[in-house]
Amino acid sequence: MFRYVLLALLVTEVSELMTAVIMGMRDFYELRLVLLVNLMTNPLISVLYLAGGIFLGPALRWYLIAAELAVWLTEAAVYQICIEKKRSFLLFSAVANAVSVFAGVLAGRWI
C-alpha cells in the first residue's frame, strides 16, 4: 500500500508541477505551494481510493468523482487564499487534477 501511495504522489507532483509551469506559475512560492497542497491531498485520496475499492465495489467510480471534486475545490481555495496574483485558480486546479488523473491512469497501466 505504501508503494502505491508513494507512486501516486510522485506522479501527481511531477504532473501538477509541470502543469503549473506550463500555465505560467514561475514563482518559487507558487510552485512550492503546489507541491505542499498535493502533499496534503494526494495521500488522502490515494488511501481513500484503496479503501473504497475494498468496501464500495461498483460505487467506487462515483466515490472517486466526489473525492476528486472535493480535492479540486479545496486546492483551488487554498491557491486563491495564498497566492495574491489574479488567476483563475478553479481552472488551474481543474486542469492540473485532470492531467494528474490521466498520468496516474497511464502509470497504473504500466505497473
Question: Is pLDDT above 70 for 94?
Answer: yes
Q: What is the mean pLDDT of the chain?
A: 89
Supply the angle between the helices 2-22 and 89-110 in degrees, to the nearest 10.
Answer: 140
Question: Is pLDDT above 80 for 110?
Answer: no
Q: What is the largest CA-CA distance in the chain?
A: 42
State pLDDT tens for residues 49-66: 888 766 777 777 788 889
Q: Where are any strands of DSSP class E within 1-111?
A: none
Mean pLDDT value of segment 72-98: 92
In the chain, where are the structural domains located? 2-110
Residue 41 grid cell? 491531498
Of the candidates 12, 5, 6, the residue with the CA atom closest to the CA atom of residue 72? 12
22 compared with 111, residue with greater pLDDT: 22
- Residue 91 to residues 28, 30, 64, 70, 71, Cα–Cα distance (Å): 20, 15, 20, 14, 13
CB 25 within 8 A of CB 31: yes
State pLDDT tens for residues 14-44: 999 999 999 999 999 999 999 999 999 999 8
Look-up of cell digits 501511495: 5
Please report, rounded to a whole number, the percentage of residues in the chain having pLDDT higher than 70: 97
Mean pLDDT value of segment 58-83: 90
